[in-house]
A = this chain, B = another copy of it.
Amino acid sequence: MFRARVHSQFVSLDGFSAGDHVTFDKPIGDAQALFGWFDGRGIEGIGDVEAPVTVDRALFAMWGQGVGAEIMGRKKFGPQHGPWPDDGWRGWWGEEPPFKTPCFVLTHHPHEPLRFPNGTSFEFIDAEPTQVLERAQEAAKGLDVRIGGGPSTIRQFLAADLIEFMHVAIVPVTLGHGTRLWEGIGGVEDRFTIETIGSSSGLTHQLWNRKDRVGSA
């Protein structure tokens, strides 16, 4: 079995999943309020995290479990626009990107692949979602593929009906502006069974499983 999965997708009460004004200094733009709810530790499992094991942490820890490749939009990789400048940019994450798998960056502009010692690589690809997913699935060697965002990329894969699982975390903040997650994909929820719980932090977690595709409940 193979799944394309979305993890730790934060959405504000007013439906925004990313901020405007992304710059080199501000990878998440104006959306700091959206991402302050999780410290990013333990994303491959609850082991080795010096913090209480909360419901939030247990669910965010699904991020890396059984994932062999990621697909991301170019804005997740860097703030540049248009043709890639020769600026030595290797992503927001320094020399230890958290992915530790092949990553496929969607872009219309050519870019040399990048490799890191910890198993992370970035390949830049100009293709339709179906083709990119095939390529990522091959690279994942039997494991699942994470659709890593941002919101526009997730919308694109949802519209193409290529996603089997999503973990959405609704954050009790309003942003007022930014990139909307749900725009233009009305009714997409009909294809999923959605389980919703609140946690003690104030987050609302939703687990979306594609109906009639991933085993039975």
| Chain A residues within CB distance 8 Å of chain B | 1, 5, 45-55, 58-59, 61-62, 65-67, 143-144, 165, 167, 193, 195, 197-200, 205, 207, 209, 214-217
Contacts and interface: CB of A to CB of B under 8 A. Distances in A.
A57 to B, nearest CB: 9
A137 to B, nearest CB: 14
Copies, count: 2
A217 to B, nearest CB: 5
Interface centre among A53, A58, A200 (most CB of B within 10 A): A53
A207 B143 CA distance: 29
Given A66-B45, A66-B46, A55 B195 contact: yes
A209 B53 contact: yes
Contacts of A65: 45-47, 61
A51 B200 contact: no
Closest 3 CB pairs of A and B: A47-B66, A45-B65, A52-B209
